[in-house]
Amino acid sequence: MVPSLVVAVLPEYGRAEASIGSRYRDSMTTVRIIGGGIAGATLAATLERPDWAVTVHERRAQTPALDTAFALFPQALRALQPSGLRPAVEAAGVRIDAAQILTAEGRPLLRPPRLGALMIGRARLHSLLSAARPASTVLDLGEVDAPEDLDADVLVGADGAQSMVRRTTWGARSAPRRPPLTVIRGVVDADLSNGSVTEYWGERMLFGITPLPGGRTNWFTAFPERRFASVADGLDHLRTAARVLPDPVTDVVDAATVEQSVISGIHLSRPLPSFVRGRTVLIGDSAHAMQPNLGRGACESIIDAAALAELLNAHPPERALSLYRRRRLLTPQLVREAAGVLSHVALAGGHAARLRNRVLTTIARS
């Protein structure tokens, strides 16, 4: 785990900030959150400023129905504690401690330490966060084509890996890159996980199985980029490719349905020297979209949003953004880099895959 950054604030700033805050409250402050996904919904739910004009701009009227899993680690759950959201989120998830990584033949490669993670459906998590949005916060449905033209004291880019806010403020060169990978993920309405998180690392392919609340199973796979005419074609390909994997995988793939599966690519953020520029701040995937291999994307989004809300709740916008710039710069970018390294290892092929297996198998036996 990468430790969080600690920001030291000099004591003598206290009296000056109190004076600034007193004068600042004389005028209305406007906050616009572009994107109502996990990061945007968390920020809206934890921003306790009814005296401010807060608007969430979301292009979709409904949450996607496919309830694939997020893993929430202790850092993310602690971030939800001050707002009172933690108990409801924990009640909606299932605790998982056991995890293992196996070869395509089912031999142990790696057994990570106790996870202490909460597995929760992404649709369920989003629903809980959205329901906690204060009544004073406005939800504006529709596409925002020119976020830079919006009138706001704080403009929050929470609009995902292909963030329009990021491109318009940081420039076209900050747009994400797309590695040549295809991801298929889905949900099965049966418990096929044996109560643990399991990944199989094969030849340029990985396959993962995790529990979901309600006795369901979340599954995912990644392999070199391949285009499919439909989800059905993708599942047909997967059923053929999975024949080299053990029975738990083939059982899941055989049970997978078109209605509860989705095919996508991956978008990865390029590094930035700062997630704050003027009045604009990036959080979540807009700032640091990463490979899913560490299961930390949703966690870092929640931690971003809670940290920004804490600072905006306590300080005028300019000061809050200055503090946020330092607090959340390094950790999520280190996590993103670590996830990228793990992806390369998991999806290795040929000699690299054989070497990986020999080294990790030897470590597992020692």
pLDDT at 17 over 60: no
| Percent of residues, the chain, with pLDDT higher than 90 | 87
Q: Going from the N-terminus, what domains does the chain have, and what CATH number goes with each?
A: 23-65+122-178+268-343 (3.50.50.60)
Q: What is the 3-state secondary structure (H, E, C) of the chain?
A: CCCCCCCCCCCCHHHHHHHHHHHHCCCCCEEEEECCCHHHHHHHHHCCCCCCEEEEEECCCCCCCCCCEEEECHHHHHHCCCCCCHHHHHHCCEEECCEEEEECCCCEEECCCCCCEEEEEHHHHHHHHHHCCCCCCEEEECCCCCHHHCCCCEEEECCCCCCHHHHHHHCHHHCCECCCEEEEEEEECCCCCCCCEEEEECCCCEEEEEEECCCEEEEEEEEECCCCCCHHHHHHHHHHHHHHCCHHHHHHHHHCCHHHEEEECCCECCCCCCCEECCEEECCHHHHCCCHHHCCHHHHHHHHHHHHHHHHHHCCHHHHHHHHHHHCCHHHHHHHHHHHHHHHHHCCCHHHHHHHHHHHHHHHHC
C-alpha 94/C-alpha 91 separation (Å) is 8
In angstroms, the CA 263 to CA 184 distance is 4
Nearest to 90 by CA among 79, 98, 101: 79
Specify the long-range contacts of residues 319-325, CB closer than 8 Å, at least 24 apart.
319/17, 319/20, 320/154, 321/154, 321/276, 321/279, 321/281, 322/276, 323/7, 323/9, 324/275, 324/276, 324/281, 325/274, 325/275, 325/276
Sheet holding 261-264, edge to edge: 108-110, 99-103, 197-201, 206-212, 216-224, 181-188, 261-264
Q: Quick one: pLDDT band at residue 9, thresholds 50, 70, 90?
A: very low
Instruction: Judge contact between 90 and 79, C-beta under 8 A.
Output: no
Measured distance CA(324)–CA(154) in Å, rounded: 13
Q: What is the pLDDT of residue 362?
A: 85
pLDDT at 1: 38
pTM over 0.85: yes
Mean pLDDT of the chain: 91
**What's the CA dihedral at 335, 336, 338, 339 to 10 degrees?**
110
pLDDT, one tens digit per residue, over 130-154 is: 999 999 999 999 999 999 999 999 9
pLDDT at residue 191, rounded to an integer: 95
**Alpha-carbon gap, residue 184 to 205, rounded angstroms:** 11
By DSSP bridging, strand 138-141 and strand 53-58 are parallel
Q: Is the pLDDT of residue 113 over 90?
A: no
Mean pLDDT throughout 313-327? 97
Least confident interval from 75-89, 105-119, 220-234, 339-353: 105-119
Instruction: Find out whether 218 and 260 touch, Cβ atoms under 8 Å.
Output: no
Confidence (pLDDT) at 164: 96
Which pLDDT score is estimated for 3? 36
pLDDT over 90 at 88, yes or no: yes
Band (pLDDT 50/70/90 cuts) for residue 27 is: low
